[in-house]
Amino acid sequence: MTQNDPIRVMIVDDHKMVRSGLSAFLVAYDDLALVAEAESGERAVALCHHAQPDVVLMDLVMPKMNGAEATEAILKSCPDMKVIALTSYKDQALVEGALKAGAIGYLLKNVEADDLAKAIRQAYAGQPTLAPEAAQVLIQASRQPYKPGIDLTQREKEVLALLVEGRTNPEIAENLVVTKSTVKFHVSSILHKLQVSTRTEAVAKALQEGLLDQ
């Protein structure tokens, strides 16, 4: 890459509208270029060698392979790439998980376009960027031990309660009158927040910690 070449960016998000919006955003900056889009963590890992992005904008809450797992896998095989977590959530488990996986930045999706462009340039230069909300979460975490599950939303508790009952995703979707993809989204978020990898582990932790009694 020469000095005048644009920074190569890959977008990873399971929502098409988000990918479209980010693609349109990149067009406005001459020094940034979209080289790949991925709708899943697995696809992102598969594309990283072929597309050779300099910076990856990584969603965190995705079905199957989540953003932190994808980040870790990408950086394991392509250590020179830079990953910015770009998410709607500022939960402690997500922030710490993304940074532990190797992300150089953590931004919320309501970030201003110029600020996101600046973060991409900083990431390319090896400089970290944290959303103020993420920084605040880390400050609070340093003051008190984190208890997994304390930041579950009310809807996530409802989904977790149905998981404890042994309900399947289609059954949960019918019970809560939401789509199956929405249920997958909530389940993935629950696993992140409880710091577990399977539904069975989530149920066990919920019962052990009395999370549904809070």
Asked if residue 3 has pLDDT above 90, the reply is: no
Question: What angle do helix axes 180-194 and 92-101 make, rounded to 10 degrees?
Answer: 80
What backbone torsions phi and psi does residue 34 show, to the nearest 5 degrees?
Answer: -80, 125
Question: Where do you find CATH 3.40.50.2300 in the chain?
Answer: 7-142
Question: Where do you find CATH 1.10.10.10 in the chain?
Answer: 154-207
Per-residue pLDDT, averaged over 21-43, amounts to 94
Q: Write the pLDDT tens digit of every residue in 73-120.
A: 999 999 999 999 999 888 878 888 899 899 999 999 999 999 999 999
Task: State how far the Cα of 122 lies from the Cα of 116, in Å rounded to an integer.
Answer: 10
Please give the CATH architecture assigned to the domain spanning 154-207. Orthogonal Bundle (1.10)
What's the token pair of residue 169?
Answer: 């995703």
The answer to whether 21 touches 32, Cβ cutoff 8 Å, is: no
The DSSP H or E segment spanning 183 is: helix 180-194
pLDDT at 214: 57
> Residue 59, by phi and psi: left (phi above 0), alpha (psi -120 to 50) or beta?
beta
Tell me which of 3.40.1350.10, 3.40.50.2300, 3.40.30.10, 4.10.1240.10 is the CATH number of domain 7-142. Answer: 3.40.50.2300
Asked if residue 22 has pLDDT above 80, the reply is: yes
Residue 181 CB coordination number (10 Å): 13
pLDDT at 59: 94
Per-residue pLDDT, averaged over 12-24, amounts to 94
Q: What is the pTM of this model?
A: 0.69
pLDDT at 145: 59
What backbone torsions phi and psi does residue 121 show, to the nearest 5 degrees?
Answer: -65, -40
By DSSP bridging, strand 55-58 and strand 129-130 are: unpaired
